[in-house]
Structures are given as structure tokens and as C-alpha cells.
């Protein structure tokens, strides 16, 4: 039950929703929609966990420093594989984003956070503690695939199966939804970051060239694909030679990058297969019509829908604006937080 005090506080402070992702964090404020969308990156003083005290500390400007910061500064991504890898820095990041989104209100907001479906009890506890220490008055949790389903307007309340595949930076979440719950789910720690790593390994092996994560991500976005494309591309890349350690450039083609991306793409397809194999037959029957909906930034990889459709033989659609699907779902629930808080998870419901 909501206490009278909580009700009163709610009158003066907005509820906030947060999709705390491995690659980016999106924040929604009740009544205002999504107000913030920034990389999950924090700049700290090396050797300490002290966040830099200027405008470049968190988000977009901190991301520019990744791999390029001078000796005294370090840019850190405190989330890994969808969960908190560095507690203190994540706390600082959440505090910064809450302040930026929630403004100067002196009342701590209630915060609705999305979590991967495969999260452990310990990891879940860490999310709650972290958000509370960063300024949340109360923390509610929703599983990412449910938020994604709501965000792309699937009728997830109906007794009919829908398959959502969210490919983020750190995790791919595959989930069959029906009656507003997860009938079946698979969560693997292979997504966009793993694709970047696959490109780094490929370039290293084939060209003896060491490239950074930022470069690998740029290659993936510019010429990456999962399925043959009408016109193949070529791109000049730069890095450090593994033999003489000097800066060097070379050209790379989209065909090569597709080959490099095979292992992570295969792993995603295998996760979909595993989930479908375990889905009850009546719901499998629904999926023949409802098909697969793709969300998350990772599904912006060219041809990922085509390769999945070919392999799984179900209709596949990429959601409009897939990166913001989870945050849009969170935003919808914020409007009904008072009605829905009973079904959301909280610290007490563990």
C-alpha cells in the first residue's frame, strides 16, 4: 500500500523512469516523456573513483574521451552485460542523470528502472541499492522485454504470444510475452559490444592491426551487415601495427566485416531457436502470425532482420526507433505507476 506520506510527496515530485543500459541510458519523466538519452560513460580521475567536476564528466562528452583520455583521466563504462560492473561509478552516473532530468526538486523521486530478464538476485539488489544511494526515494523494477513490448505497442496484455528480441550493447534478451508476463526467456551476454570485439579480433588477425573499441563500433555502424547487401562498401581504417607498433591505415570491405560478425549473429539466432524450442505449442502457434519484433540499438545492424527471418522462418519486423523502445515502455508505465506498482518488483518483493 502506498502510505499517505508517499502520496503527499508524490504531489510535489515527478516520477522518473530509467533504462540504464550498457551502452546508453535514457531517462523519462512522468508527463514530459523521454528527456535524456546519453552514453553510459563517466570520466573519473585515474586511481580514484572521483567523477571529474566539470561539464565533461558524464554522457556524450565523456564518451569522446574513451580510449583517448590523458594519463590523469579515465573514461569508464560502469555497466557491463546489462548489469552494474562498477557500483560507485554507476551510482555517480545515476545521480548525475537524475539531477539533470529531475531538476532541482528537493524531494527524492520514485524511480522505475528496467532490468535484464536474466539478472541474478544479487545483481538486482545492486540496481536497487545503487539507485537509492543516487537519490531515489523508492525503486521499482520492470523486466526489459516487457518494457520493450509495451514501448512498441504490442498488445502484451492479451492471451496471445509475441516474441521480442532486444539486442542492446551488452545483452540480447529473447522473450515470449503473453498476458503481460514472460512465458519463456533467454538472455545472452552477446550483443553490440561483442560485435565490436569480433571486428577488433578480425582486423587484428587478418591485417595485424590493432584498433580501438570506438573505431570498431564506427566500422560496424558504417559498413557492418548480417546479410548480403545490394551494394557492398569499402572503408579506410586506422590503428596501430602489431609488428612495428606504428600508426597505419588499411582498407576493409563490408564482406569482410560480415564474416567477422558471423559468430555474434549466430549466437543471437541460436538464442532465438532455444527460446522457441521451449515455448508451449499453443503459444508457438500464435507466433506463426505475430512473428518476431526486434528492438534495441543492435538491431540497426543492416540485414539482421533478413538473416533471422531466413533462419527462423517467421515474419520479422524491426521496431520503429528500436533504441528507445524500452524507455518508451517505461514512460507508459510511469503514467500508471500508482495503479501498477503492485505488479512491479521492489526491494520488499524479493
Burial of 11 by CB count in 10 Å (0-12 exposed, 13-18 middle, 19+ buried)?
A: exposed
Which residues have C-beta within 8 Å of that of residue 151, sequence separation ≥ 6? 295, 319, 324, 325, 326, 327, 328, 329, 330, 331, 332
User: What's the distance, Cα to Cα, between the start and end of the chain in Å?
Assistant: 16
Output the smallest distance, CB 40 to Mg ion, in A.
10
> Least distance in Å: CB of 224 to ligand ATP?
6
Residues 143-182 as x/- pattern, contact with ligand ATP by CB under 6 A: -------------------------xxxx-----------
Q: Give me the residues paired with residue 294 across strands.
A: 165, 318
x/- track of binding to ligand ATP for residues 8-47 (CB under 6 A): -------------xxxx-----------------------
| Nearest residue relative to Mg ion (C-beta) | 168
- Shortest CB 310 distance to Mg ion, Å: 25
Q: Write out the binding residues for ligand ATP, residues 181-210 only, by CB under 6 A.
A: 191-193
Grid cell locating 209: 592491426
Instruction: Tell me whether residue 191 or residue 312 sits nearer to ligand ATP (CB atom).
Output: 191
Say if strands 73-76 and 138-143 run parallel, antiparallel, or are unpaired. Answer: unpaired
- Kindly state the smallest distance separating residue 265's Cβ from Mg ion, in Å: 18
301 binds ligand ATP (CB under 6 A): yes
Element (H, E) at 223: helix 213-223
Q: What residues between 95 and 134 interact with ligand ATP by CB under 6 A?
A: none
Helix (H) or strand (E) holding 123: helix 121-133
Q: Select 107 or 221, whichever has its Cβ closest to ligand ATP.
A: 221
Q: How far is CA 68 from CA 40, 56, 64, 71, 193, in A?
A: 17, 14, 8, 9, 18
Contacting residues toward ligand ATP, per CB under 6 A = 21-24, 82, 168-171, 191-193, 217, 220-221, 224, 296-298, 300-301, 323
Amino acid at each position: 500500500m502506498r502510505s499517505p506520506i508517499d502520496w503527499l510527496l508524490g504531489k510535489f515530485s515527478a516520477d522518473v523512469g530509467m533504462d540504464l543500459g550498457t551502452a546508453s541510458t535514457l531517462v523519462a519523466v512522468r508527463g514530459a516523456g523521454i528527456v535524456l538519452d546519453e552514453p553510459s560513460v563517466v570520466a573519473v580521475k585515474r586511481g580514484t573513483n572521483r567523477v571529474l567536476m566539470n561539464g565533461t564528466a558524464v554522457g556524450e562528452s565523456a564518451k569522446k574521451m574513451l580510449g583517448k583520455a590523458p594519463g590523469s583521466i579515465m573514461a569508464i563504462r560502469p555497466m557491463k552485460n546489462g548489469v552494474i560492473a562498477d557500483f560507485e561509478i554507476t551510482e555517480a552516473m545515476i545521480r548525475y542523470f537524475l539531477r539533470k532530468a529531475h531538476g532541482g526538486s528537493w524531494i527524492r523521486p520514485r524511480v522505475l528502472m528496467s532490468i535484464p530478464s536474466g539478472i541474478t538476485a544479487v545483481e538486482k539488489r545492486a540496481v536497487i541499492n545503487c539507485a537509492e544511494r543516487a537519490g531515489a526515494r523508492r525503486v521499482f523494477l520492470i523486466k526489459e522485454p516487457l518494457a520493450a513490448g509495451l514501448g512498441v505497442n504490442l498488445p502484451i496484455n492479451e492471451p496471445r504470444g509475441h516474441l521480442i528480441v532486444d539486442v542492446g550493447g551488452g545483452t540480447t534478451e529473447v522473450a515470449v510475452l503473453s498476458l503481460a508476463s514472460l512465458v519463456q526467456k533467454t538472455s545472452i551476454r552477446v550483443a553490440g559490444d561483442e560485435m565490436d570485439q569480433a571486428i577488433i579480433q578480425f582486423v587484428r588477425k587478418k591485417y595485424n592491426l590493432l584498433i580501438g573499441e570506438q573505431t570498431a563500433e564506427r566500422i560496424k555502424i558504417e559498413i557492418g551487415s548480417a546479410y548480403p547487401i545490394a551494394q557492398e562498401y569499402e572503408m579506410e581504417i586506422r590503428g596501430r601495427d602489431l609488428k612495428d607498433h606504428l600508426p597505419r591505415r588499411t582498407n576493409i570491405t563490408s564482406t569482410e566485416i560480415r564474416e567477422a560478425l558471423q559468430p555474434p549473429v549466430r549466437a543471437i539466432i541460436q538464442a532465438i531457436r532455444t527460446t522457441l524450442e521451449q515455448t508451449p505449442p499453443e503459444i508457438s502457434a500464435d507466433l506463426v502470425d505475430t512473428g518476431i519484433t526486434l528492438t534495441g540499438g543492435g538491431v540497426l545492424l543492416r540485414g539482421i532482420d533478413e538473416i533471422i527471418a531466413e533462419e527462423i522462418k517467421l515474419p520479422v519486423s524491426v521496431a520503429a526507433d528500436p533504441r528507445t523502445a524500452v524507455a518508451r515502455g517505461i514512460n507508459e508505465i510511469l503514467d500508471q505507476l500508482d495503479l501498477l506498482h503492485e505488479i512491479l518488483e521492489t526491494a520488499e518483493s524479493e
